[in-house]
């Protein structure tokens, strides 16, 4: 795999009315092309801050961000984001929500050939996440899991090279969450984008990833980069594989040794 994105000695300090808050300290991170990378860490450790820096939505206070060996300036080209809470527009149908990013890029409804291609692409994506037949519904007519699937389709219609996901399944029930993991793996296999996935769930991180980044409490530092040696495709049997439980336990042990997880 070749290097896609690199964070070098990244610090982030927020200057607030009540004083400075150091969110990140000395983050070195390489992300490889096509890799599925997860970031786990306690609440407030700087996970969303890292994601915003990778996306170019925020700048490091110190250090640098490089994409394909050039310094990142402005918003990262080819990156799409899925947030914890879906941000669908209530007055647009499912289909019109999915095609929205293309319209914002100036590919308008007035251009008939693009309109048809965009529509076909949106329908294909919706079908691949089990939403065939829901294209003319409105967000309020969907469940939380369905809305989050629409958000993923809206990110993928941009053909992103990098999909950034900030606890995208956090608000979903356990069963829907599990289904979403399978859907995401299927999509990442089909469209071959690079993924940075932020989660509180150790199991979710190990199940999905090629590599898991384990973070300390604030100021967030990287405690461990753990390569996940599980074969792909990941399926129902993955969780009963010894490597799965070894990796999950290793991450839990790190959090316990840091006092982030305490049994009593
Ligand atoms: N815009 C901001 N201004 C001031 N402080 C901020 C800002 N954004 C984040 N912080 C602070 O930086 C720290 C890291 O925040 P961040 O949102 O990155 O954490 P997180 O790991 O994503 O947490 P969670 O798991 O709860 O989402 C927190 O202490 C937060 O209060
Ligand atoms: Mg966050």
- State the sign of the Cα–Cα–Cα–Cα dihedral 30, 213, 152, 83: negative
Return the pLDDT at 112: 60
Q: What is the mean pLDDT of each run of 10 residues along the chain (264 residues)?
A: 91 96 97 96 95 95 93 87 90 95 71 76 92 96 93 94 93 88 92 94 97 97 98 94 98 94 80
The alpha carbon of 54 is separated from its chain's Cα centroid by a whole number of angstroms, namely: 11
**In terms of residues, how long is the chain?**
264
46, 221, 255, best to mutate for ligand 1 pocket (most atoms within 8 Å of CB): 46
Protein residue with its CA nearest to atom 27 in ligand 1: 43
Protein residue with its CA nearest to atom 24 in ligand 1: 43
When the pLDDT of each residue in the chain is averaged and rounded to a whole number, the result is 92
For the chain, give every domain's residue range: 3-78+160-257, 91-151
Would you say 47 and 220 are in contact if contact means Cβ atoms under 8 Å apart? yes
What's the rounded Cα separation, in Å, for the pair 242 and 256? 21
Return the pLDDT at 116: 80
Return the pLDDT at 102: 86
Closest to 42 in 3D by CA, of 185, 218, 169: 218
Taking only the tens place, the pLDDT of each residue in 191-247 is: 999 999 999 899 999 999 999 999 999 999 999 999 999 999 999 999 999 999 999
**19-32, strands of its sheet edge to edge:** 19-32, 3-16, 62-67, 70-71
Return the pLDDT at 148: 92
Collect all residues with Cβ–Cβ distance below 8 Å to 27 and sequence separation of at least 6. 7, 9, 10, 11, 50, 63, 220, 221, 222
Would you say 43 and 215 are in contact if contact means Cβ atoms under 8 Å apart? no
| CATH entry 3.30.470.30 includes domain 3-78+160-257 | no
Q: How many helices (H) and strands (E) does the chain have?
A: 7, 10
**Which residues have CB under 6 Å of ligand 1?**
14, 16, 21, 23, 41, 43-49, 218
Collect all residues with Cβ–Cβ distance below 8 Å to 169 and sequence separation of at least 6. 148, 176, 177, 180, 181, 199, 204
Distance from residue 92's CA to the centre of ligand 1 (Å): 31
Collect all residues with Cβ–Cβ distance below 8 Å to 30 and sequence separation of at least 6. 3, 5, 6
Taking only the tens place, the pLDDT of each residue in 100-117 is: 988 887 655 556 667 788
Protein residue with its CA nearest to atom 6 in ligand 1: 14
What's the rounded Cα separation, in Å, for the pair 194 and 5? 10
């Amino acid at each position: 795999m070749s290097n896609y994105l690199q964070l070098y000695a990244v610090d982030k300090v927020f200057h607030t009315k009540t004083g400075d808050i150091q969110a990140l300290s000395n983050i070195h991170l390489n992300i490889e092309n096509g890799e599925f990378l997860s970031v786990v860490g306690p609440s407030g450790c700087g996970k969303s801050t890292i994601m915003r820096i990778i996306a170019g939505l925020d700048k490091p206070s110190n250090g640098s961000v490089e994409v394909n060996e050039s310094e990142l300036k402005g918003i990262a080209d080819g990156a799409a984001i899925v947030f914890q809470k879906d941000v669908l527009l209530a007055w647009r149908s499912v289909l019109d929500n999915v095609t929205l990013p293309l319209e914002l890029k100036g590919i308008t409804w007035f251009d008939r050939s693009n309109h048809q291609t965009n529509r076909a692409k949106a329908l294909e994506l919706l079908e691949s996440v089990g939403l065939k037949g829901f294209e003319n519904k409105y967000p309020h007519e969907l469940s939380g899991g369905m809305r989050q699937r629409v958000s993923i389709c809206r990110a993928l219609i941009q053909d992103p090279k990098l999909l950034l996901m900030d606890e995208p399944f956090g608000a979903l029930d356990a069963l829907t969450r599990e289904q979403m993991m399978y859907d995401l793996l299927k999509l990442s296999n089909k469209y071959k984008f690079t993924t940075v996935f932020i989660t509180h769930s150790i199991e979710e991180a190990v199940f999905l990833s090629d590599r898991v980044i384990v973070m300390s409490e604030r100021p967030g530092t990287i405690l461990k980069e753990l390569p996940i040696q599980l074969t792909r495709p990941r399926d129902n049997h993955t969780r009963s594989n010894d490597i799965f439980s070894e990796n999950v336990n290793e991450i839990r042990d790190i959090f316990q040794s840091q006092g982030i997880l305490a049994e009593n």
